[in-house]
Structure 1
Amino acid sequence: MKLKRFRAAAVLAAALLAFLPSTAQAADYPDPLAISGQEIIHDPTVQHLKNGLYVAYSTGGIIGARVSKDMRQWDDAGNAFAEPPSWWYEYNSTGDPWAPDLSYRDGTYWLYYAVSSWGTNHSAIGVATSPTGMPGTWTDHGKVFSSETTDSWNAIDPGVIKAEGKLWMAFGSYWTGIRMVELDPKTGKAVEGATVQHLATRPDLPYAVEGPYVVKHGRYYYLFASYDACCSGVNSTYKIKVGRSTSVTGPYVDSSGTSMLEGGGDLLLAGHGRYVGTGGESVFRDHGHDWLAYHYYDADDSGTPKLGLNKLSWGHDGWPTVE
């Protein structure tokens, strides 16, 4: 009888867990790295520069900058630019840039970013270069790629990767989801007449997926993206999902084989405890390890957006998890 009661209890517990997946999973998410100093950030992109400093650029200011010697103490370092390039005002009245992406290629740092206004796909992605990657050293080179209200995509949230002998930029927010276009490696701008690839979307309006970032690990390319709603403080529902492909242009699928064009994607990180609305992610490599950078809204600090950093580990099956 005791064994039967134990089995019955086990079945009941399993049934209850099936109805509470988010609660069960949330307990398993690790907290971000403990940091201090200037923690406030949104849509971070992080790199370990050749000068030994870590830099994080973000939405806010004229591409706001933070620097650190050890990834733990972060200090305000002003902005990438002293003033907005004049062409930004074509896309919003304040010259406000969003969601930068920092990379290093061919001896040069490349900073991609978006300019748009809330709720429209009249948007553009621009690029700047720097010999050091430090704020105040950037030269802007204008538009890389743009979208208009007649397009079925939104040219914001750039994420650049060199792959298969070419340079590629993933981008997208709502509309029809995540897209990709080939770039000219010399100019860093979209190849004229390039096909706009489709990487991920959702089956339901308003197709709430954005902020793509593509990483190569082993023989696969991994597409990280932010799902659901950002920018609402403690009411934000942002979470990060991932899929993979043997080709940089897809098709990307999750661990069950469901295409990310059909709503697939493995949940990598969601809000838990004080760390609400985890998203706006990017990935950087440091001392042989991959790190996930993102923002969360601090429920213990009135929903202030702050920098989250977690090491990524890769399982024997090739799928990433956060530490």
Structure 2
Amino acid sequence: MKIANIIFLVMIYASVSFAQDTRRSDIPVHDPVMIKEGDTYYLFCTGPGIAVWSSPDMKAWKREAAVFPDPPTWATSVAADFRNHIWAPDITLHNGEYYLYYSVSAFAKNTSAIGLAKNKTLNPESPDYNWEDQGVVIQSVPGRDLWNAIDPNLVFDEEGTPWLNYGSFWNGMKLVKLGDDLKTVQNGPDDWHTISRRERSFELDDRNPGDGAVEAPFIFKKDGYYYLFVSFDYCCRGVNSTYKMVVGRSKDVKGPYLDRDGKSMFEGGGTLVLEGNENWHGVGHNSAYTFDGTDYLIFHGYDANDNGRSKLLIREMEWDSEGWPIVSLEE
């Protein structure tokens, strides 16, 4: 009986521990994006096959199955050593379908491509749940391109035209017009734009990302403006991370995006939104949404109290009298 009781208690403890582990609020994420379907919030982020979490309240999170249990069939033709660790997704509901953009890349190279998958629902219990990969949207190639095809974000302008903004290092953030299928890149003279960049300390080299550290663009529409958030400096270094978020805005989705002082983000401008402090070594790669009338900034930070591990951070976003975002890092 004693052995049976011990086994029973161990099983109960393991069950409780697992529940706590999969429903904790400080979940380990990079590059989070969020969407709400019905009464459930879904979080997509960098991870094996694209990591997915669900929550009823943005506080208690449950780990769901990855989008891609096996790598996309085309991925190794882009990055030969790809192992299904997929970066920086972006999720949008359009005309009754969910469009999930994602990044396949080799680290610190612009050997990269942005892919697209579609689903009718995000609820894994639904009989309609099925991710269908649509293949490559856009690809960058070393020796050819001065940009990096990662960190996608979809936005629609006031006429309903879809635009994809993306990029990391090199010659900055790009904005390209898409066709009605939200996949086909348009190649007219007014269909490609550089919307944010930083100067590098040496001559541009299409095989070297350089030190113009800017990435993770996300455009949020508010009160007649398009707000372009980007992350400056360096992620992914644990306690040595220096990530921070800046913003500019424009009346035109194509820009120019100006910061509070009127400096163009094309010239390295950007008004500081949040940077690290004694509790968070760096914060960045944000997305922004309005849920039930409240604006939120969703991002990750490197926890100074947990050896610099990356954690999910969700903060309400307010606006000052001149229409600039106000976000506090502390809760």
TM-score bracket for this pair, using the shorter chain length:
0.7 to 0.9
The residue that corresponds to 2:134 in the other structure is: 141
Shift of 1:122: 1.8
* 8 Å CA contact 1:128, 1:139 repeated in 2: yes
Q: Does 1:127 align with 2:101?
A: no
The residue that corresponds to 2:168 in the other structure is: 173
Inter-CA distance 193–123: structure 2 relative to 1 (3 Å threshold): farther
Q: How does 1:226-237 map to 2 (within 5 A)?
A: 226-237=231-242
* 8 Å CA contact 2:217, 2:231 repeated in 1: yes
Query: 1:159 is aligned with what amino acid?
Result: N
Shift of 1:204: 2.8
The residue that corresponds to 1:40 in the other structure is: 28
Match of 2:252 among 247, 251, 260: 247
Q: What TM-score do you get using the length of structure 2 for normalisation?
A: 0.83
Shift of 1:193: 4.8
* 8 Å CA contact 1:55, 1:134 repeated in 2: no
Give distance in 2, aligned partners of 1:95 and 1:88. 8
The residue that corresponds to 2:75 in the other structure is: 88
Task: Identify which of structures 1 and 2 has the higher relative contact order when contacts are C-alpha pairs closer than 8 Å and 6+ apart.
Answer: 1
- Once structures 1 and 2 are overlaid, which stretch shifts more, 219-228 or 79-88? 79-88
* 1:39 counterpart SS class: coil
* 8 Å CA contact 2:220, 2:289 repeated in 1: no
Q: Deviations over 1:82-104 (max 9, x none)?
A: 21111112233213211000111
The residue that corresponds to 1:285 in the other structure is: 290
The residue that corresponds to 2:300 in the other structure is: 295
The residue that corresponds to 1:184 in the other structure is: 179
Shift of 1:312: 1.0
Match of 1:322 among 313, 323, 327: 327
Give distance in 2, aligned partners of 1:306 and 1:134. 24
* 8 Å CA contact 1:89, 1:95 repeated in 2: no
Q: Deviations over 1:210-239 (max 9, x none)?
A: 000001111211000010000000110000
* 1:254 counterpart SS class: coil
* 2:48 counterpart SS class: coil
Unaligned runs of 5+ in 2: 1-22, 202-210
Query: 2:94 is aligned with what amino acid?
Result: R
RMSD of Structure 2 on Structure 1 (CA): 1.6
* 8 Å CA contact 1:38, 1:75 repeated in 2: no
* 8 Å CA contact 1:80, 1:137 repeated in 2: no
* 1:98 counterpart SS class: strand
Shift of 1:133: 2.4
Shift of 1:207: 1.2
Task: Give the number of aligned pairs.
Answer: 288
Q: Deviations over 1:150-179 (max 9, x none)?
A: 111111000110113200011000001111
Q: Does 1:105 align with 2:94?
A: yes
Unaligned runs of 5+ in 1: 1-34
- The alignment-based identity, stated in percent, is 40
Shift of 1:183: 1.0
* 8 Å CA contact 2:26, 2:313 repeated in 1: no
Query: 1:291 is aligned with what amino acid?
Result: Y
Give distance in 2, aligned partners of 1:243 and 1:187. 25
* 1:281 counterpart SS class: strand
Q: Deviations over 1:166-197 (max 9, x none)?
A: 00011000001111001112243322557320
Give distance in 2, aligned partners of 1:113 and 1:207. 23
